[in-house]
Amino acid sequence: MSIEQAVHCEVVGQGPALVLLHGWGVNSAVWQPIIAPLSEHFCLYLVDLPGFGESKPLAHYSLQSISEAIQEVVPESAVWCGWSLGGLIATYTAINYPQQVTQLIQVASSVKFVADEQWEGVDGCVFDNFLQGLQTNPQKTLARFIALQAMGCKSARQDSNKLKKLLSGTQDAEQSALIAGLNLLAGSDLRSSFSSLSQPCLSMFGQSDGLVPLQTATEMSILLPDLQVQLFEHSSHAPFISESELFCNKIVNFIAG
């Protein structure tokens, strides 16, 4: 079943509602390896973020406008699970629309992606370089970003090829959405509001992640002492690809409480 509005959403399975939000530069096709096992337990809402996959772009991009567009096509009360940029959007929604999000799952995500003197993260120039690359050679830039998702773990080549295969034949992202997404990753800081999160939260990290350093887990646990942390020892930025069985088990156990 598809929900045809500005935001495209595939609905699969039966059970408690679980919203899945993908990361930058890709679309909901990346979740294919975990759809079958998770749909045995949950009704999955596979969202294409605005301007990605089958979703139409927005006139104006902000965490608020993206969140509100997604809320139009998902249940009023659901578990939200977001990967990377999707995790940032899910976290924003849990904080600002608490009635929407019963439990929050962050996958290789952060409340602040760019490093500063008090916070571990990536150098801001990483996002600047991707922005420049989008202007000159968007296809090459996206391919480089896909490769970066898996870089560092033992199955890097296999995982990167799997991601490319999942995305082949799917709709290219809109340039406006790509640029807006990078700007949100580079400029968002949810640290102070994350401390007030009231819902149960599970944050998953890859041991070899080059975009979200492991120190982030410690820093986010300081902000939110009740945070549940799961480390994937054989993953980098895409644990649902590298360790899909463990990933699904952790989600099922967390939601079951």
Q: Is 84 a catalytic residue?
A: yes
Catalytic hit among 48, 235, 237, 242: 237
* Cα distance between residue 111 and residue 95, in whole Å: 11
Rounded CA-CA distance 210/84 in Å is 12
Residues whose CB is less than 8 angstroms from the CB of residue 182 and which lie 6 or more positions away in sequence, other chains included: 24, 127, 130, 131, 134
- Which residue ranges make up the annotated binding site? 24, 84-85, 145-149, 237
Catalytic residue among 22, 209, 236, 242: 209
Distance of alpha carbon 129 from alpha carbon 215, whole angstroms:
24
Q: Which of 28, 55, 67, 84 is catalytic?
A: 84
Could you list the residues known to form a binding site for substrate, using ranges: 24, 84-85, 145-149, 237
Active site residue 128: no
Of residues 111, 91, 112, 113, the one with CA closest to residue 103:
91
Question: With contact defined as beta carbons under 8 Å apart, do 37 and 156 qualify?
Answer: no
Helix (H/G/I), strand (E/B), else coil: 50:
coil
The number of beta carbons lying within 10 Å of the beta carbon of residue 172 is: 14
Catalytic residues: 84, 209, 237
